[in-house]
Every structure is written in structure tokens, then in C-alpha cells.
Amino acid sequence: DGGITQSPKYLFRKEGQNVTLSCEQNLNHDAMYWYRQDPGQGLRLIYYSQIVNDFQKGDIAEGYSVSREKKESFPLTVTSAQKNPTAFYLCASSIGDILNSPLHFGNGTRLTVT
């Protein structure tokens, strides 16, 4: 079955440590995205990538970094510079640059930093 896999589902880190969240898709989609979800704030776009080896900042990119070395993979690193990293992180993918290109989401990673 095609889909998006995020791992791990739960992640715990100490303050000051960088942490990398994994996202893999086998849908052959060109575009991939990272969102952050906090209670009552909906989805906020962190980074997105339209094609391999290229990515763009979203609305809240500060304190995060990404890479897109392979079409299937779009890992997100939450750095120690992110002031409030505890949140639910969602990865998504889509066909790409066409109008009807709905996003397909993974099941999320809940990151807790203490």
C-alpha cells in the first residue's frame, strides 16, 4: 500500500539537543511538506520541497532545518534554536505543481522537549 510513514510516533528530548524526525513516502509524489500543529492553532507550514535538492521556508521556519536528497525522504531537524519545540509534527506529500493536488498526510510525530 502506498502512503507516508513518519517515525517515531513519540519522541522525547532534553532541551538543547537537536532532534531529527523522519518522513518517507512511496507515493511517487514530487512535493513534500512539514507542518506543526498546536492546540487551537491549526496547521502551520514549516518547510516544503517541490523537487529533490530544493526546499523553501514556510511560515515558521526559524529553528528548523530540512534536506531533500531523495524523492522519497524529507527529514526535519528541530534544532536547539527552536524556542518552543514541543508540538505535534505532520509530514505530507502531494503530486506537486498542479491545481488539484490534495495533500496526503502521515500519522504524525509528537515531540516533547523537557
Partner 1 sequence: GEDVEQSLFLSVREGDSSVINCTYTDSSSTYLYWYKQEPGAGLQLLTYIFSNMDMKQDQRLTVLLNKKDKHLSLRIADTQTGDSAIYFCAESTAGGSYIPTFGRGTSLIVHP
Tell me: does residue 59 bind partner 1 (CB under 8 A).
no
Cβ 27 vs Cβ 93: under 8 Å: yes
Among residues 21, 29, 32, 48, the one that binds partner 1 under rule CB under 8 A: 48
Residue number, 13 or 110, with CB nearest to partner 1: 110
> How far is the C-alpha of 28 from the C-alpha of 92, rounded, in Å?
12
Rounded to a whole number of angstroms, the minimum distance from the CB of residue 107 to partner 1 is: 5
Tell me: does residue 85 bind partner 1 (CB under 8 A).
no
Cβ 21 vs Cβ 78: under 8 Å: yes
String of b and e for 70-80 (b: at least 16 CB within 10 Å)?
ebbebbbebee
Quick check: helix, strand or coil at residue 61?
Answer: coil
Stretch of residues binding partner 1 (CB under 8 A), selected from 11-19, 62-70, 73-81, 89-97: 89-97
Residues forming the site for partner 1 (CB under 8 A): 4, 6, 31, 33, 40-43, 45, 48, 90, 92, 94, 96-108, 110
